[in-house]
Structure 1
């Protein structure tokens, strides 16, 4: 089983968007079934974040929230395995626990099975308990484990449905909003470049000729990117066309296209990305260009001399791309909101429509991947991108 760090665990919880929502009928049905199969009076689905335990569905009691340090399930979260306690008063982990000694409840029998996401993150437990001492036979223990897996299946299905709906709406809106705005100035740029390079009256110095050639190449790449991106947006939920992509070469193209803002801000870019990833090259280029450009732009706007590091590593389930910067970072409360369409977080005074990160999220979701913002070891923000393995790999 993959061990997932705390930031990824919290990201997984956030992605399910189940906290502070009314209990879903599917989850309520699962806790009722768990109580019946285990022969107990109470069963709950607990989601445990960095501060609280949230009972998102419950049978035999009203769902509630308690501090993580007061949670019995949090005490065994690190075990990453089902647990059965016949009498909590005799268990050293629980005999002085507020849920056992009467401060919150008087639990005697307790059993739980971890909720493990497809990425290996444990986000909480399905637990059953009672005020009387009892045991749980092996068949009931196995049933509890199966039901815990069903809880994750329900959460995954709800998340996928919600994200697909939002992604399709976002991409359709995106295509309609920017198709002319992007195509018209690009067409003019290409036309002027062709006129300049073809004009017999212009004697270009070698350096100017090279710069003009670079500009034409960048314009061609931009034209291809826009055409592919708009076609992808019009397709809505249609899949991208992934292939093996050399991440270091793709990043080099991105840096070349961002040469002007990088030079203007005296930014430095370090790349350690000698891996192949499975992605649509054009669409991943859109993602990388947005992320690197944001790192440079927001660091410079905050008065920093931008330094950006792009790294790529292989994981058991696919690829991890990290883009770190030394800028002001993104406050924790804004890290989900900045991926919403037309939302630019707290980026006052910085040019942009708020389309970039929303587009990036839609592209990565279509690949079966994720994007999130974390704290960076450089002092600013880390954009964390995950991509799955190709279908023929484990």
Structure 2
């Protein structure tokens, strides 16, 4: 084998960690079965690197490590395919090998089946042998091939299980880091909102006092300027509250059964002003598992948007429905409003994005909805409604 081929074999062996770590215990059972089927006293799984032979499972003798150049199975791998030798002392390929001629053993009968990885690398052999000459029949040869394939299956399963465990550990670390990040974000947002509220409240109070003085003095131009400033402080206060709500999402959830059929009427009552004149229809709504307060906020935001973005001069038409979808529930809030361009359907979930600058709101609402839904393991999106309008949908998994 070339140096490059040996290097790639070493890499394949390393990926199974069969030399560096304790081998899978299932290998011992296969080796014992191989000795039993062939009616020989000794069998082993040999893993052959560029420099050494490692007997990682054995029956009938104590497993050990030897140099590659002393290995009978290294010779067999260079030959390729299954090798069966009735008497190695009479075979010119093996008779001078130290495992045959005496220094390391007195092998006579010898058979080896290569262990081929799915990528075609021969990483070792399933080897059976005896100190007495003997033969193998065709059934025993077939069984030897089958058991070698099963050894590779065991190694593949062990490798994939190890990779899966590593991935799970990384996911756990990422989850813990995300929890810490959310906690820091919530704490930071809380501190910032507190630091902003105090001076903003002072400004608002000063503006109210100034407005009263101007009203008493009847200065219309000044009162108009103060009124605009007061509206600006109110918008700023709303933005601070929205940012704080956005930052707090993603922490611990209080999971319980949430009966949407009971929650939605409460939401409609809270939005009575915004829904004045609207035509709202309710379909069947499921019971889902989640944080009632946060899910209620999501639906309230979606219904409020449906009421807000209507066609000029027309009342809102809103349909709120739920249906089974895979291993979860899909809840839809559909309107007959202006609709949304497909290119904007994803962008509106980014913080501070507002498609209509003239509309009320901070551009935080849908971003917060997405954080809430994702914290519940779900998905959220917007899509055109057949006949005009928009469908805002939320998918939530079963508990």
TM-score (norm 1): 0.43
Q: Which has the larger radius of gyration?
A: 2
TM-score (norm 2): 0.42
